[in-house]
Chains A and B, each alone.
Chain A
Amino acid sequence: MTTISTNQAVGTPTAAVSTLDLAGVSRWYGNVVAVNDVSMSLGPGVTGLLGPNGAGKTTLLHMMAGFLAPSRGAVSLDGRPTWRNPEVYRRLGLVSEREAVHTFLTAYEFVLASAKLHRLPDPAAAAREAIALVEMEGAQNRRIGTYSKGMRQRARVAAALVHEPQVLLLDEPFNGMDPRQRLHMMELLHRLGDAGRTILFSSHILEEVEQVSGTVQVMVAGRLAASGDFRTIRRLMTNRPHVFAVHSTDDRALAVALMAEESVTGVELGRAGLTVRAGDYGAFTRVLPKIALAEGIRVRQLVPEDESLESVFSYLVEA
């Protein structure tokens, strides 16, 4: 069996560039607004769709992929609507969040079936190429039911890539992957983006998005809260002090020692312990054990109070 080199497979210059456009898109379920007036235009390259759980990322992705009608507004791929238009799948691939695969098929059969359903001229070659792309050659003849979560995910990505779509949408693609698989998936998305494809993936984990993509669309509570270069947004976030709840054997003494630290911008002594504001997350968490050791204080509890993405995003929205 011949396998085609990964780089060649992805690096082939693609004929046309596709754009996915959302114009004033809203979606509501009864009284609940899941997506609220979102407009964006996605071109070639990798874009991260970032937001806390329940922000409407999946709803937005489903509308992009033609699996949900917008209640208002329009989603179009190269000017053609994605809803009720199966033709868009010639240029669009979707990897949904739900880990749904035909477990009774092998990865090769699964990807080959996709290639055949796309009516590709040489489905077997396309399937082999897509499997090589996700480095699954070794396990391709085993039933998907025997795979780990990360392997299933890669099989699904291979099936979604088999027709070399211009646009690939991935919903939480890193969920359930081990670090090595994550790295591999990130590299793959990078290569696809560099080859001129439009890649959009959603995630609720900041670090994932940071590593894969420079451009992000941040969703909060159904709205597009920020959009653009990730580093700029990230800086906005770190300018905010981090809040920690600290409880120790001697809170008062610890408070005095902490105030001498440069990374600490404020300490509040309460009945339940200390509330510490730190400008630099890393510096503070590194220095706290040292201070405690030097002062002979035992730290019983250290809880970041605003670490959740929700709070970071709410800063963003307030800003």
Chain B
Amino acid sequence: MSTVSWITVRGLFGRRRFLLLLPLPVVLVLLAVLSRALGVDPGEWGPPVLIGLGLAVVLPVVALIVGTGVLGAEIDDGTIVHILTKPLPRWQIVLPKLAVAAGVTAVTVAVPIYVAGVLADSVRLGLALAAASAVGALAYSALFVALSLVTRRPVLLGLVYVLIWEGLLGNIVSGTQVLSVQQYVITLADRLAPTGLLETSVSVPVATVMAALISVGFTALAIDRLRSFSVAGETS
């Protein structure tokens, strides 16, 4: 593991906000287990739990907590200076941090969504949801890592994107769904394991290309912003 990833991982798990990651996946699994145990028809509980909670809330919120934690938290407390005062090309700082963010998010989300998918339909759906979530984890992480460098309030802006853009506008104005990571994840999962549970609104090529564009584009933006990273003087 590179030194940057090592510090990032230590920082992520050494801060208390890491505990925020736990409740949501637990709730997801609990709801799925409960629905299954009570014998509710998967057609009824599947979409609200898998999409409404799993892909629309757990995935983006976990990605937001982790994605803004790997770089934004260090910018907030000033420890970023220790890493920046090294003769490292800036991509060697952004890429390991992004890898940690995407990896931690993917694992945190893939496990509960796999369990929920298996309980709702089949192992195949579980695996499809987990794989699609991993792709979503990368796209979200790139977005949120870049946000940490573009604004002083990455968490707020990230929440606005997730709740207002994807959550609210995505249901009212269908055009916004083309710019919604959540929709790409649903489409990809449905492509990997077609069931009646997932309702898609963008095509597979659009989902694939857009997920790749967002991941690459925001990573490039983050690297460029980090090159021009300014520290504001406290007295000025």
Residues of A within 8 A of B (CB): 29, 32, 34, 53-59, 62, 65, 67-69, 84, 86-90, 92-94, 96-98, 100-105, 110, 113-114, 116-119, 159-160
Determine the chain B residues whose CB is within 8 A of the CB of A113 once the complex forms. 3, 6-7
For the A-B complex with A94-B81, A100-B79 known, give 5 more contacts whose Cβ atoms are closer than 8 Å: A62-B231, A67-B230, A84-B228, A114-B86, A118-B86
CB B39 to nearest CB in A, in angstroms, measures 47
- Residue in A closest to B4 when the chains form the complex, CB atoms: A117
Tell me, in angstroms, the Cα distance from A58 to B4 when the chains sit together.
Answer: 27
- In which size bucket is the chain B interface? 20 to 34
Asked if residues A96 and B7 are in contact (CB atoms below 8 Å), the reply is no
Asked if residues A54 and B236 are in contact (CB atoms below 8 Å), the reply is yes
Contact of B14 among A55, A100, A104, A110 (CB under 8 A): A104
Whether a CB of chain A sits under 8 angstroms from the CB of B235 is yes
Residues of B within 8 A of A (CB): 3-4, 6-7, 10-11, 14-15, 77-79, 81-90, 227-236
- Residue in B closest to A99 when the chains form the complex, CB atoms: B78
Please list the 9 inter-chain residue pairs (A to B) with the smallest Cβ-Cβ separation, ordered nearest first. A100-B78, A104-B14, A58-B233, A117-B86, A34-B236, A67-B231, A116-B3, A98-B78, A59-B233
- If A58-B233, A86-B89, A100-B77 touch, whether A117 touches B3 (CB-CB below 8 Å) is yes
Asked if residues B82 and A159 are in contact (CB atoms below 8 Å), the reply is yes
Asked if residues B229 and A89 are in contact (CB atoms below 8 Å), the reply is no
CB A62 to nearest CB in B, in angstroms, measures 5
Asked if residues B233 and A62 are in contact (CB atoms below 8 Å), the reply is yes
Determine the chain B residues whose CB is within 8 A of the CB of A160 once the complex forms. 85
- If A86-B90, A116-B3, A118-B87 touch, whether A96 touches B233 (CB-CB below 8 Å) is no
Asked if residues A56 and B236 are in contact (CB atoms below 8 Å), the reply is yes
What are 8 A-B pairs at a CB distance below 8 A? A59-B233, A67-B229, A68-B233, A87-B87, A89-B87, A93-B85, A100-B82, A117-B3
- Residue in A closest to B89 when the chains form the complex, CB atoms: A86
Asked if residues A94 and B227 are in contact (CB atoms below 8 Å), the reply is no
